[in-house]
């Protein structure tokens, strides 16, 4: 048996050696620096636009990648990475992308998948709520727990859920709705109650769940396929405060008259502006934000979702607020496919929902392990006394040597001391979300979590290789831009002598093919283009003044253009002193046309001024090639052909 185990050990070690060796294969070196096959392929796969890799695409990219690494090496040697602007831009980029890596992917994916599955159905729910008394004592809490248990036992023995809700529930609405809260779906309820609802089978009663406010018992009255979301506009005829029955009847009569006007063709938006008591929506023609089930009172929700087609209008619907007249604007069904768009949409809701705390707890455990976090030995009761004295500005007692510099916990590159904790709790005391209803110990654990995540975030590249790769990629890209600016682009644009000499040495490259002197006009839309063209018909010489007076709706560019550069795709012949046809540009719907001043049908050489832009581009490439040759001498490049051939 030991011999077999030994053979397996040899096989595993051999496999690991082969894998490590393959990953460490060097595809090329420059100077004393080696580049692995893995690193090259990672860069290639990110930047290669071809669907299928070929030997040519590998070799073409290899030359580009070698040039890139040489330039970055030169930038490091010039210490460009130490420049203040480089550090600031890198830090800004770091701040922008770090949060995207601070999550536990596995647990987050589970939450997203769970939410997607739950989004496929709506649950018809009934609810009994047994509330804790205010300032409840231990005895009060015990009585409340016993009451909830007694109610559940009665339900199990067959007591009608609606009758139990009327008799026992502390939900004020239970007397009217008999505990029936209508349909709910994912994200309707707090996550803990959502779990209770979705873990209760149809026609079954849930177990008792304790929340901070009391005990909850659900009954699943039935399920249906999720009906999605809806967009509506509404007109609210609100009941007066403490409205009597005659006042409510008068409100109903007014709602009926408005409904009749709508049936006879009156504009919904105009009537909403004039009569609706909804202060948030009357200004937008009565339109309210898209919503799903469980958002509004059930009568309102049922009436909205019962409208069959866009544009349909409901009869007046009574709720606790008054009478509503609802117009359907659009329906959005629930996506039944967990595609990228749907998943990303759910992810954003999950991240901003309390359920993300489930993932954060898992992440915290990983963070504490990865960062080698250590709790330092301390008497917590002494710390609470010390903290209370500080908060009350009292003389701090001597407690077993406890002082501001006493360590609380540590990370490899940071120690947290009592003084840091006192600074946090002084701030937290003035922030209700951080302190209300929490014990000193709970706030301390909250502080621990805050500091741990902050440390992890500040050292993220040490723990997340994907983040480190993206950060380094941005850093070296920024360094490349800086050194190219210094070595190539600035020099090419300012070296007039070098540009002139390059032009003289390469005159045969710079020719005019068929071209024209023209003014090209770009207008914001077709109407602006027609107006501009009409004004120019008898006064083309005044085009500059016309453009200046257009407030940006018309722009123009004049000069000599190749005919292929002009916006004239449908025209084969061009006439001097004439306007071209108009061309609509997608996707911004701007419209372009040109006025042809003079045609040059014969091929002719460009002078230096006419060729300067082209010369500058070519001179930049010339300077870059020359610089690369110098770098290859400084950092000799050696390509491992065997590894290159293995890329197939």
Say whether both 632 and 597 belong to one domain.
no
Confidence at 118, pLDDT banded by 50, 70, 90: very high
Mean pLDDT confidence for 184-189: 95
Interacting residues of 202 by C-beta distance below 8 A, sequence separation 6+: 220, 221, 222, 223
Say whether both 176 and 193 belong to one domain.
yes
Q: Does residue 40 fall inside a structural domain? A: yes
As for how many domains the chain has, the answer is 5
> For residues 109 and 104, what is the distance between their CA atoms, to the nearest angstrom?
8
Mean pLDDT confidence for 18-39: 78
Look up residue 525 and give its DSSP letter.
S
Domain boundary among 302, 332, 362: 332
> For residues 52 and 48, what is the distance between their CA atoms, to the nearest angstrom?
9
Say whether both 233 and 221 belong to one domain.
no
Task: For 509-546, write each residue's pLDDT tens digit.
Answer: 999 999 999 999 999 999 999 999 999 988 999 999 99
Say whether both 236 and 211 belong to one domain.
no
Look up residue 102 and give its DSSP letter.
S
Residue showing tokens 């030991």: 2
Say whether both 221 and 243 belong to one domain.
no
CB distance 643 to 538 below 8 Å:
no
The whole-number pLDDT of residue 52 equals 81
Average pLDDT, the chain: 90
Q: Does residue 464 fall inside a structural domain? A: no
Q: Does the pLDDT at position 20 exceed 70?
A: no
Say whether both 515 and 599 belong to one domain.
yes
Q: Does the pLDDT at position 37 exceed 90?
A: yes
Say whether both 383 and 442 belong to one domain.
yes
Confidence at 341, pLDDT banded by 50, 70, 90: very high
* Domain containing residue 630: 1-73+624-648
Say whether both 240 and 260 belong to one domain.
yes
Task: For 210-259, write each residue's pLDDT tens digit.
Answer: 998 999 999 999 999 999 999 999 999 999 999 999 999 999 999 999 99
Q: Residue 430 in 3-state DSSP?
A: coil
CATH assignment at residue 552 = 3.10.50
Say whether both 261 and 311 belong to one domain.
yes
CATH assignment at residue 282 = 3.10.50.40
Look up residue 404 and give its DSSP letter.
T
The whole-number pLDDT of residue 258 equals 96
Say whether both 203 and 238 belong to one domain.
no
Task: For 636-645, write each residue's pLDDT tens digit.
Answer: 999 999 999 9
Mean pLDDT confidence for 306-310: 96
> For residues 471 and 90, what is the distance between their CA atoms, to the nearest angstrom?
8
Number of other CB atoms surrounding residue 608 within 10 Å: 14
Q: Which of 324-338, 350-364, 566-580 tops mean pLDDT?
A: 324-338
Q: Does residue 146 fall inside a structural domain? A: yes
**pTM to 2 decimals?**
0.65
């Amino acid at each position: 048996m030991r011999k077999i185990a030994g053979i397996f050990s040899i096989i595993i070690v051999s496999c690991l050696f082969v894998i490590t060796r393959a990953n460490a294969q060097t595809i090329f070196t420059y100077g004393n620096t080696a580049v692995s096959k893995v690193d090259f392929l990672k860069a290639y796969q990110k930047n290669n636009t071809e669907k299928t890799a070929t030997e040519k695409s590998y070799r073409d990219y290899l030359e580009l990648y070698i040039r890139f690494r040489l330039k970055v090496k030169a930038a490091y040697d010039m210490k460009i990475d130490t420049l203040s602007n480089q550090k600031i831009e890198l830090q800004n980029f770091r701040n922008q992308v770090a949060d995207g890596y601070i999550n536990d992917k596995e647990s987050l994916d589970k939450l997203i998948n769970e939410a997607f599955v739950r989004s496929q159905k709506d649950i018809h729910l009934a609810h009994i709520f047994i509330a804790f008394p205010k300032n409840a004592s231990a005895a009060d809490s015990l009585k409340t727990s016993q009451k909830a248990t007694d109610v559940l036992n009665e339900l199990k023995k067959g007591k009608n859920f609606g009758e139990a809700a009327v008799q026992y529930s502390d939900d004020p609405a239970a007397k009217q709705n008999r505990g029936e809260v209508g349909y709910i779906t994912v994200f309707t309820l707090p996550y803990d109650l959502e779990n209770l609802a979705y873990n209760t089978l149809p026609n079954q009663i849930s177990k008792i769940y304790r929340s901070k406010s009391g005990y909850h018992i659900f009954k699943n009255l039935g399920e249906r396929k999720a009906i999605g979301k809806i967009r509506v506009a509404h007109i609210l005829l609100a009941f007066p405060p403490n409205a009597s029955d005659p006042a409510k009847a008068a409100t109903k009569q007014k709602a009926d008259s408005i409904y009749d006007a709508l049936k006879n063709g009156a504009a919904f938006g105009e009537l909403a502006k004039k009569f609706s008591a909804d202060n948030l929506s009357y200004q937008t023609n009565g339109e309210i934000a898209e919503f799903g089930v469980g958002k509004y009172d059930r009568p309102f929700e049922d009436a909205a979702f019962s409208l069959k087609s866009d544009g349909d209008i409901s009869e007046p619907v009574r709720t606790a607020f008054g009478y509503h007249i609802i117009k359907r604007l659009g329906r959005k069904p629930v996506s039944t496919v967990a595609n990228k768009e749907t998943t990303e949409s759910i992810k954003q809701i999950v991240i901003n929902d309390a359920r993300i705390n489930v993932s954060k707890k898992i992440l915290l455990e990983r963070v504490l392990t990865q960062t080698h976090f250590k709790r330092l030995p301390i008497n917590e009761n002494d710390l609470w006394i010390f903290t209370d004295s500080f908060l009350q500005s009292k003389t701090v007692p001597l407690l077993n040597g406890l002082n501001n510099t006493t360590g609380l916990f540590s990370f490899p590159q940071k120690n947290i001391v009592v003084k840091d904790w006192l600074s946090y709790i002084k701030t937290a005391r003035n922030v209700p979300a951080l302190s209300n209803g929490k014990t000193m110990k709970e706030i301390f654990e909250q502080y621990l979590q805050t500091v741990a995540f902050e440390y992890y975030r500040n050292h993220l590249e040490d723990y997340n290789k994907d983040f480190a790769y993206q950060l380094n990629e941005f850093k070296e890209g920024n360094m490349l831009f800086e050194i190219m600016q210094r070595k190539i682009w600035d020099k090419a644009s300012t070296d007039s002598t070098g540009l002139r000499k390059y032009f003289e040495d390469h005159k045969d490259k710079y020719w005019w093919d068929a071209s024209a002197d023209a003014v090209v006009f770009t207008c914001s839309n077709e109407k602006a283009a027609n107006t501009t063209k009409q004004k120019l018909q008898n006064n083309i010489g005044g085009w500059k003044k016309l453009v200046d007076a257009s407030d940006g709706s018309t722009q123009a560019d004049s000069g000599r253009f190749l005919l292929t550069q002009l916006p004239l795709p449908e025209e084969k012949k061009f006439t001097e002193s004439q306007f071209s046809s108009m061309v609509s540009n997608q996707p911004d719907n701007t419209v372009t046309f040109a006025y042809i001043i003079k045609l040059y049908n014969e091929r002719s050489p460009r002078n230096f001024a006419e060729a300067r832009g082209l010369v500058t581009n070519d001179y930049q490439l010339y300077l870059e090639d020359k610089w690369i040759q110098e770098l290859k001498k400084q950092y000799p490049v050696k390509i491992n052909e065997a590894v290159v051939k293995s890329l197939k």
